[in-house]
């Protein structure tokens, strides 16, 4: 096994990875920006190296600096976590050239699935259902308009390089199309320095259902069932559950097979997620693959008992997957709530600052993944996610009761958080019934 791993990330995911390494007897190296000198990941790792100033491009996105830190500390592998360099094929290639193991798929696979228009093409070729829309990437608004006319409105304009909901626009008729296309393309240029777009039919009130995949270097691919991530605000996930109340065993099998087929199609390795939208008639369509560990991975861990970070490390080391599909048993019910430092009363503006007082909930079936501590100064520079509250019960009803209790107990003073907002979601009758779709928050909680 690896003796030492460098974690090219910060916040709760860096802490999560350090913990997994520690359990595996692997030494850890944290990297931190100047503003993160006191951060928990910096303190918890066996070694810590400053990689630059606070701005991400100078630190957590600074490839040379991170590679240097790895070479200097003689770490054999890099775990990129999520965000930052996790889906950057150039970085994966640099690691390979420096004989450092990148804990994730190869640069080629990242490229193949990272371009969303390309990924749609690949799925079409192998027979994984995709949403009707463009077959090739589009750079001219007029070409997009022709496709929109053909598939019928509403349509969604999306960025090939997209992520985090950026570069997406919903359009309801011809008159709005060109203008919206240009706006989405501008946003895409600004965010990703890329101008390739694609068009999909806009599904009305779908659910977001994704499958967790694990694939080793010997062609073994398994899935760990689904996560229902329909509770979103502005296309960003807020609450994730596993399993989904709308997926029965035959549908799980069918979607799981499509997900493993998708992974096989690109000879995928390591952990990944195949995202689908599910319409009211239970038709499912591929939307994208994420070639990294995801924020919401703990809900799959809770219901399967499989530690995804440890599996990632094992796979990257070249070990064969020990778990076979028949051994994956989904039992109980898990729900995750993302706790963000943001102000729901002020349009969810980030709320950085010092944590003056903190109480994390605990008890049977309660897990908190966070990098918080009392006195911690949340910098304004990074993502506003502070913690993930994950609950596990024997069924959804029990999990919700635990979530209600745990959210009620959760105290973060000094900054504004979305804890009360999350509380209002999980107490809404429609949420309690499990009768939700991706528009639930917008329709019932926050216009």
**Binding footprint of ligand ADP on the chain (CB under 6 A):** 131, 156, 162-165, 200, 202-203, 206, 208, 232, 235, 275, 277, 287-288, 438
Measured distance CA(13)–CA(9) in Å, rounded: 7
Nearest to ligand ADP of 285, 376 (CB atom): 285
Cα–Cα distance list, 128 to 166, 255, 263 (Å): 25, 9, 11
Nearest to ligand ADP of 207, 402 (CB atom): 207
Nearest to ligand ADP of 182, 205 (CB atom): 205
Q: String of b and e for 367-382 (b: at least 16 CB within 10 Å)?
A: bbbbbbeeebebeebb
State whether the Cα torsion 114-115-120-122 is positive or negative: negative
**Any residues with CB less than 8 A from the CB of 286 and at least 6 apart, and which?**
119, 120, 123, 128, 129, 130, 131, 258, 262, 274, 275, 276
Quote the least distance from Cβ 272 to ligand ADP, whole Å: 14
Quote the least distance from Cβ 277 to ligand ADP, whole Å: 6
Nearest to ligand ADP of 168, 391 (CB atom): 168
Measured distance CA(224)–CA(238) in Å, rounded: 21
Quote the least distance from Cβ 155 to ligand ADP, whole Å: 8
8 Å CB contact between 350 and 342: yes
Nearest-CA neighbor of 101 among 246, 283, 318? Answer: 318
Measured distance CA(27)–CA(316) in Å, rounded: 16
Quote the least distance from Cβ 210 to ligand ADP, whole Å: 9
Choosing from 169, 292, 367, 396, which is the catalytic residue?
292
Nearest to ligand ADP of 46, 187 (CB atom): 187
Quote the least distance from Cβ 444 to ligand ADP, whole Å: 15
Nearest to ligand ADP of 232, 351 (CB atom): 232
367: annotated active-site residue: no
Of the chain, the end-to-end C-alpha distance in Å amounts to 51
Quote the least distance from Cβ 205 to ligand ADP, whole Å: 8
CA dihedral 288, 291, 293, 299 (to 10 degrees): 30
Quote the least distance from Cβ 158 to ligand ADP, whole Å: 6
What are the contacts of 57-60 at 24+ separation with CB within 8 A? 58/33, 59/31, 59/32, 59/33, 59/34, 60/8, 60/9, 60/10, 60/31, 60/33, 60/84, 60/85
Measured distance CA(182)–CA(159) in Å, rounded: 12
Beta strand 27-33 pairing with 47-52: parallel
To 5 degrees, how large is the angle CA 380–CA 166–CA 174? 145
Measured distance CA(422)–CA(340) in Å, rounded: 10
Nearest-CA neighbor of 290 among 439, 108, 104? Answer: 104
Q: Report the catalytic residues.
A: 292
């Amino acid at each position: 096994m690896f003796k030492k791993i460098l974690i090219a990330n910060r916040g709760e995911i860096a802490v999560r990875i350090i913990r997994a390494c520690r359990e595996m007897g692997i030494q850890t190296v944290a990297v931190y920006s100047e503003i993160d000198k006191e951060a928990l990941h910096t303190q918890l790792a066996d070694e810590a190296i400053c990689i630059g100033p606070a701005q991400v491009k100078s630190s957590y996105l600074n490839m040379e600096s991170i590679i240097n830190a790895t070479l200097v500390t003689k770490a054999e592998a890099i775990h990129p976590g999520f965000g930052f360099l996790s889906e950057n094929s150039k970085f994966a290639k640099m690691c390979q050239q420096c004989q450092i193991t990148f804990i994730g798929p190869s640069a080629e696979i990242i490229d193949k699935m990272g371009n969303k228009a390309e990924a749609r093409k690949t799925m079409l070729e192998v027979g994984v259902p995709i949403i009707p829309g463009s077959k090739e990437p589009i750079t001219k608004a007029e070409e997009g308009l022709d496709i929109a006319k053909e598939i019928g409105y509403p349509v969604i304009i999306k960025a090939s390089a997209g992520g985090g909901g950026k570069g997406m626009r919903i359009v309801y008729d011809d008159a709005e199309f060109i203008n919206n296309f240009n706006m989405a393309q501008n946003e895409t240029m600004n965010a990703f320095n890329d101008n390739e777009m694609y068009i999909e039919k806009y599904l009305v009130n779908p659910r977001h259902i994704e499958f967790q995949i694990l694939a080793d270097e010997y062609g073994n691919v398994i899935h760990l069932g689904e996560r229902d991530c329909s509770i979103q605000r502005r296309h960003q996930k807020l609450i994730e559950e596993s399993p989904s109340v709308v997926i029965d065993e035959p549908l799980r099998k069918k979607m799981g097979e499509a997900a493993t087929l998708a992974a096989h199609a690109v000879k995928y390795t390591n952990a990944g997620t195949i995202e689908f939208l599910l319409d009211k008639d239970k038709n499912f369509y591929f939307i994208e693959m994420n070639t990294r560990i995801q924020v919401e991975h703990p809900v799959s861990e809770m219901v399967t008992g499989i530690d995804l970070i440890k599996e990632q490390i094992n796979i990257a080391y070249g070990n064969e997957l020990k778990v076979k599909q028949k051994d994956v048993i989904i039992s109980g019910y898990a729900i995750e709530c993302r706790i963000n430092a943001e102000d729901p009363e002020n349009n969810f503006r980030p709320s950085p600052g010092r944590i003056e007082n903190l109480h994390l909930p605990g008890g049977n079936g309660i897990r908190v993944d966070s990098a918080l501590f009392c006195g911690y100064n949340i910098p304004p520079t990074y993502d506003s996610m502070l913690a993930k509250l994950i609950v596990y019960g024997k069924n959804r009803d029990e999990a919700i009761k635990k979530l209600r209790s745990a959210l009620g107990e959760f105290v973060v003073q000094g900054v504004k958080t979305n804890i009360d907002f999350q509380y209002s979601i999980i107490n809404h009758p429609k949420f309690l019934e499990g009768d939700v779709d991706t528009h639930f928050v917008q329709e019932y909680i926050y216009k």
